[in-house]
């Protein structure tokens, strides 16, 4: 995998608007990245044009040396029944006769069960942008999108351990990022 360069931008607004409101106005929703990036660009253009004031901190960094946390869910299709549950943090995924939000079919074998569970995880809006599930020969691997120790706090649980064998998320590690920091004052 090719290394990536990272550019972090932090804006400290002088507007007096609460941070949460500013984040909602500037960053928009996590599941609409194009809209969020456009809104951030427009906000910065407004600052450059004199509409407001802020300090903009830019951290320049090379490749992140951290690691993404991973956990696994091994599926035993023969032991799974409708209503059995896999919990990923506060989100519940149920074995069901038809797929729906948070639901998946146990399929005809372990591999199908894992593929269906991974699809249900990836389709859930609460997982998008934070976790990715992949399935291979009856096992779902859950991988944090970002690197860092925060992923290790994710708790995996199940209502049926004979159908779903869990390995808790581990290996998330913080790396080194910040190589240089520049600050710019815009506005008054």
Instruction: Place 22 in a pLDDT band, splitting at 50, 70 and 90.
Output: low
Q: Is 133 exposed, middle or buried (0-12, 13-18, 19+ CB in 10 A)?
A: buried
Residues 16 and 104 in one domain: no
Mark whether 129 and 161 lie in a shared domain.
yes
Range of the domain at 36: 6-64+177-186
161/75 same-domain check: yes
Higher-pLDDT residue of 51, 169: 169
pLDDT of residue 48: 76
Q: What angle do CA 85, 90, 95 make, to 5 degrees?
A: 20
Query: 78 and 103 in one domain?
Result: yes
Domain assignment of residue 128, yes or no? yes
Same domain assignment for residues 45 and 89: no
What is the residue whose two structure tokens read 């919990």? Answer: 87
What average pLDDT does the segment 111-131 reach?
Answer: 95
Q: Is residue 161 part of a domain?
A: yes
133 and 86 together in one domain: yes
Same domain, 77 and 166: yes
**Co-location of 100 and 49 in the same domain:** no
Band of residue 49 on the pLDDT scale cut at 50, 70, 90: confident
Q: What is the mean pLDDT of residues 163-185?
A: 80
Whether 1 is in a domain gets the answer no
Q: 86 and 155: one domain?
A: yes
Residue 22 to residue 141: CA distance in whole angstroms: 35
Clarify whether residues 14 and 42 are in a common domain. Answer: yes
- 52 contact partners, CB below 8 Å, separation of at least 6: 13, 14, 15, 46, 187
| Total count of domains within the chain | 2
As separate numbers, helices (DSSP H) first and strands (DSSP E) second, the chain gives 3, 11
96 plus 160 within the same structural domain: yes
pTM: 0.64
Distances from the Cα of 158 to the Cαs of 77, 84, 98, 111, 165, in angstroms? 14, 8, 20, 18, 8
Where does the pLDDT of residue 2 fall: very low under 50, low under 70, confident under 90, or very high at 90 and above?
very low
């Amino acid at each position: 995998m090719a290394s990536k360069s990272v550019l972090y931008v932090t804006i400290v607004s002088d507007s007096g608007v609460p941070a949460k409101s500013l984040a909602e106005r500037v960053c928009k929703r996590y599941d609409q990245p194009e809209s969020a990036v456009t809104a951030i660009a427009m906000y910065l253009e407004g600052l450059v044009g004199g509409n407001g004031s802020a300090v903009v901190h830019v951290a320049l960094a090379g490749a992140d040396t951290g690691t993404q946390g991973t956990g696994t869910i091994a599926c035993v299709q023969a032991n799974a029944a409708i209503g059995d549950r896999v919990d990923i943090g506060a989100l519940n995924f149920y074995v069901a006769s038809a797929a729906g939000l948070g639901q998946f079919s146990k399929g005809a074998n372990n591999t199908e069960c894992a593929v269906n569970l991974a699809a249900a995880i990836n389709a859930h809006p609460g997982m998008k942008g934070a976790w990715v599930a992949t399935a291979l020969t009856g096992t779902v691997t859950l991988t944090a999108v970002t690197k860092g120790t925060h992923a290790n706090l994710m708790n995996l649980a199940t209502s049926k351990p004979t159908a779903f064998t869990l390995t808790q998320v581990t290996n998330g590690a913080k790396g080194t990022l910040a190589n240089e920091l520049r600050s710019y004052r815009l506005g008054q």
